[in-house]
Structure 1
């Protein structure tokens, strides 16, 4: 393997595996957990560039970085250069050490506002946005794109060159076009071409769900790092597994039931403390579902924990379930109180 680390501006990033930004998923509790379990960098979920929404509860949570391990990377989205520049400054004032610009999200809600990957249809506007944001802050600015807007409009190379010329410090490329959403298989050849043409760090994103796949994609694309998104849901230890495999060429053993229990309980407690009840309980349900998805007996666990109405219930049911598994008995799951 080539170097085990790389730089984004003044920040050394190691290992070469990054938590991809995911709306509604990569909140502070999840970022802190993934960093602790081996991610070299964790990018925040997308924050709006529209100042009218900065004081909503959702935005305040998304912009809370107190106690978060450095470097803190915050993703912004929008379509107006001056507004994006203001948003970048605002986030830097609130703790961001890297600003990431989203031109990769395929969601209609984002694309209908011409944000996200829809911007790839407008290279001149892309250049204006990137230049405005880079000039507005004294921290590194990174960019996330797709391979193009549509299958017959793969313009990642054009956008990548614009980005490098504008002073973007690193570029992440999702190996799908916007019209593919998350379907089909990621194509890495375009990412490899982009990496070969640029001098800044380039990251490969799309379908990286195992240590073997991460190593294959790094070898095939020549990229500086891989982004892991959906595969980290319910498996935050995937980061240390990938990092270990890249460093030593061997697989780590699966985490023990006791460790999974402790990771899950710690995550739940952080969610409850961060959001309060009932929001923390509700948000924790989807994470519990992801943790449960790998084991057939976990369907029962998921259905009961989903009915828990309090933080105390969620924690008790989770602890009792794993303690029974560890003891080698089929867990008896009472109805939630």
Structure 2
């Protein structure tokens, strides 16, 4: 049976790409889409930035036809501003709007946005209702288990947000106080899914970094789909590998050297095309280590690539290293 968010059909068990600040931009989303991801989101966008027409916030609204279905994720602390930001985001024609109630970082949570709303569920509900009423698009939410171990309130959050009209909920299996440390705990996610009142899709997020874990947790925690974040950085093939395993029960061979190089080149060229030469090259630097992880001399390659400022020089370096590696690995 297909999982649906409103009229968006995501297939029987969708694999989603998490919205990640400074990572899930259009160039990164492009390489993930090539590997079969079912639903993607923009980086999270500040409602304040949108209503003030900040250039960086407006640029994050860029979405492309090949990315569909795609959601725009927004965050904020002011209900009226979130309503206005929803209208601006909806005008960019995404397939859905997602609200971030999960970001744990200080400059978001300490300003009353992101995971901070887990401390004030009444306000979270009012904000969500305002967003739902501001658009005809499906509205979804991404959140955490709670603020800390003493307030794991996502069971209540799920019920109350469903009541005001959200169409799907993604739960990261950590509290805000855990940040990204320790192990994600999906047991409460399973409890939410088992709640007979819950009729919307429930997606699990946190620590899924292998085919085996995705398959095991799919069964153990009974979620409708899985959202992957950090494990996809420099490894967009994780989406096709998980799907292949689900479809065949067999583990797919990892990406070839040629595939790694192609993905890295494509990512770089898309980055430069979207952001311009200087910024595109600079922001690509955080991805090199992951693309070539485990290959001989990958650290030296990364050290060289992060010093280069010209696209042609980077492409030439990649080509020469590819030729050398091809000989060594033959």
Q: CA deviation at 1:272?
A: 0.9
Aligned to 2:224: 224
Cα deviation, 1:224-255, whole Å, max 9, x if unaligned, reads 10010000011011000011111221111011
Q: Larger deviation: 250-259 or 289-298?
A: 289-298
Distance 2:38 2:177 in 1: 30
* Aligned residues between the structures: 327
After superposition, the C-alpha distances for 1:285-314 in whole angstroms (9 at most, x for unaligned) are 111122133335200100000100111112
Matched, 1:238 2:238: yes
Give the CA deviation at 1:129. Answer: 0.5
The 5-angstrom pairing of residues 251-330 of structure 1 reads 251-328=251-328
User: How big is the shift at 1:220?
Assistant: 1.4
Give CA-to-partner distance per residue, 1:61-110, whole Å, 9 cap, x none: 21111344211211000112221111111111012221010001111111
Question: 1:64 maps to what in 2?
Answer: 62
Secondary structure in 2 aligned to 1:142?
A: strand
Runs of 4+ in 1 over 6 A off after TM superposition: none
Q: State which drifts further: 100-109 or 80-89.
A: 80-89
CA contact (8 A) 2:260 2:292 kept: no
The equivalent of 2:39 in structure 1 is: 41
- 1:3-60 per-residue CA deviation (whole Å, 9 max, x = no partner) reads 4x41111111145110011100000111122111111111111011014675434223
Which shows bigger deviation, 72-81 or 47-56? 47-56
Identify unmatched segments of 5+ residues in structure 1: 331-337
Which of 5, 8, 24 is 2:5 aligned to?
A: 8
Could you tell me whether the CA contact under 8 Å between 1:53 and 1:59 is conserved in 2?
no
| 1:154 match: secondary structure | coil
Residues 119 and 125 in structure 1, CA contact (< 8 A), matched pair in contact too: yes
Aligned partner of 2:149 in structure 1 is 151
Counterpart CA distance in 2 for 1:183 and 1:206 is 11
Change (3 A) 1:59 1:319: farther
Hey, what's the Cα distance between the residues in 1 that align with 2:58 and 2:65?
15
Contact 1:72/1:95 (<8 A) preserved: no
- Measured after TM superposition, the shift of residue 268 of structure 1 is 0.8
Q: TM-score, normalised by structure 2?
A: 0.95
- Secondary structure of the residue aligned to 1:102 is strand
How far apart in 2 are the matches of 1:177 and 1:250? 34
Give the one of 125, 150, 160 matched to 2:123. 125
Matched residue, 1:171: 169
Aligned partner of residue 179 in structure 1, secondary structure:
coil
Normalised to the residue count of structure 1, the TM-score between the two structures is 0.93
Q: Separation in 2 of the partners of 1:227 and 1:66?
A: 21
Q: CA RMSD in A?
A: 1.5
- Gaps spanning 5+ residues in structure 2: where? none
